[in-house]
């Protein structure tokens, strides 16, 4: 390799590393004092996380596991289907910029809530559709949104509506996965088209910067 090629490669590597650090930093921004929490499951958490990171008013999205019976489960244990957990995201959002109702309206357009324990080729209880509500108000809002969303779907919605349980943060390599690995096979084939559809459908909900 020639000297100039080595220099160019080094510059590109440093640039990519800087971009990745910025993306991780963006995910870990400090949340507003009045921030509220939404916990949702709808298939692979890489996809749900990637979309909500683009939503105006959403300040933090963490991928993790909830709804199961085993404390501190690992990804491998959750994938076995034996822990009862669902792959989920914990969303911190500013209610002055986006409402819980709007959070859920997005949710029912970015995954199929009519397929029991599966999203596409991802099959198992860990990929179930679920809303984990944190307050009675959230439960009431979710019930309303589910009824409204049913008009968009021919088959019955099977989304679970259950009280929020302990949320376990997933391993670090799962966090902000799509933005750090956009060319990975699953990301390119499955997630990218969903993000493109979301951006087209919810232009008014995208972050300004």
Q: Catalytic residues, which ones? A: 44
- The residues facing 167 across adjacent strands are none
Token representation of residue 164: 């929020």
Cα–Cα distance measured from residue 26 to residue 55, given in angstroms and rounded to the nearest whole number? 13
- The residues facing 37 across adjacent strands are 92
CA distances from 108 to 30, 69, 102, 191, 208 (A): 27, 26, 10, 16, 23
User: Between helices 100-110 and 192-201, what is the axis angle to 10°?
Assistant: 130
């Amino acid at each position: 390799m020639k000297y100039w090629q080595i220099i160019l490669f080094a510059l590109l590597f440093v640039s990519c590393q800087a971009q990745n650090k910025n993306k991780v930093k963006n995910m870990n921004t400090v949340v507003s004092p009045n921030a509220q929490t939404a916990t949702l499951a709808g298939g692979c958490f890489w996809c749900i996380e990637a979309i909500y990171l683009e939503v105006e008013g959403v300040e933090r999205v963490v991928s993790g596991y909830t709804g199961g019976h085993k404390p501190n489960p690992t990804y491998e244990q959750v994938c076995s289907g034996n822990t009862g957990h669902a792959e989920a995201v914990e969303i911190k959002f500013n209610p002055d910029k986006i409402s819980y109702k709007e959070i859920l309206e997005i949710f029912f357009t970015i995954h199929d809530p009519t397929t029991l324990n599966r999203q596409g080729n991802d099959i198992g209880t860990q990929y179930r559709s679920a809303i984990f509500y944190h307050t009675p108000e959230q439960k009431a809002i979710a019930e309303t949104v589910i009824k409204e969303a049913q008009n968009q779907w021919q088959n019955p919605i099977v989304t679970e509506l259950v009280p929020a349980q302990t949320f376990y943060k997933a391993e670090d390599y799962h966090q902000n996965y799509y933005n750090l690995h956009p060319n990975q096979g699953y990301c390119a084939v499955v997630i990218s088209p969903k993000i493109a559809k979301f951006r087209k459908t919810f232009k008014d909900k995208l972050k300004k910067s």
